[in-house]
Amino acid sequence: MLLDADECQLVLVDYQSRLMPAIADAPAVLANAVRLARMAQALQVPIWATEQNPSRLGASDPALDAVLGEAHARVLPKMAFSACGDGLLEALRPAPRKPAQGGNARSLPKHLQKAVPEAAPVRNTVVIAGVEAHVCLLQTALELLEEEFEVWVVTDACGSRTERNRDAAYDRLAGNGAELVTTEMVAFEWLRSADHPLFREIQALIK
């Protein structure tokens, strides 16, 4: 089973300016988050980001925030540790639009009736990374699994204050059905071929 860019959404959890300095190996973790966002932007994979209690922990780190702005990503503030209860589920799986109610449209001849727009297909695969791996990332990913999303955790773009906490999160996520991948794995699975028109652009991001 490989990732398909056309079926994916990217979720980046809590890479915030006042939190990142406490994260083990923070520069590498953040750099990979930025790479993921740039790759998703290039390949038109929808991007969502979250910020835990932003009045206390600040906005997303400036390096990531700049890419999120360029990609027109939606940033969801939250207080719950899992982002699912603060709008992420509705963002990832929006409710179908109801047809507009108006007059006696049903009484019109069929050729005059407006067609009901089809709902856009749901991208049911969530590629997710974030901090802290054993708290907000873990709880969000587990709830997404409960909601029957396919969840792929990008391990080299995740972090906690200690490696023990981070690794415990990976063990629990894998045991609950999440796929554990790396940034380069995501890149080359989204591309699938060296013939892809964006191959050189994506390759440059991960070199």
The residues spanned by each domain of the chain are: 5-91+121-206
| Burial class (CB within 10 angstroms; exposed 0-12, middle 13-18, buried 19+) of 151 | buried
Yes or no: say if 185 and 2 are a contact pair by the CB < 8 Å rule: no
**Helix (H) or strand (E) segment spanning residue 14:** none
CA angle 204, 199, 28 (to 5 degrees): 35
Supply the pLDDT for residue 183.
98
The span from the CA of 137 to the CA of 201, in Å, is: 28
pLDDT, tens digit, for every residue of 94-139?
A: 876 665 555 555 555 665 666 555 555 689 999 999 999 999 999 9
Confidence of residue 12 (pLDDT cuts 50, 70, 90): very high
Q: Which residue has the higher pLDDT, 24 or 107?
A: 24
Residue type, 68: L
Class of domain 5-91+121-206: alpha beta
**Residues 106/97, Cβ–Cβ less than 8 Å:** no
**Prediction pTM value:** 0.88
Dist. CA 205–CA 184, nearest whole Å: 10
Q: Which of 85, 73, 82, 92 is nearest to 14 (CA)?
A: 82
pLDDT tens profile 175-205? 999 999 999 999 999 999 999 999 999 999 9
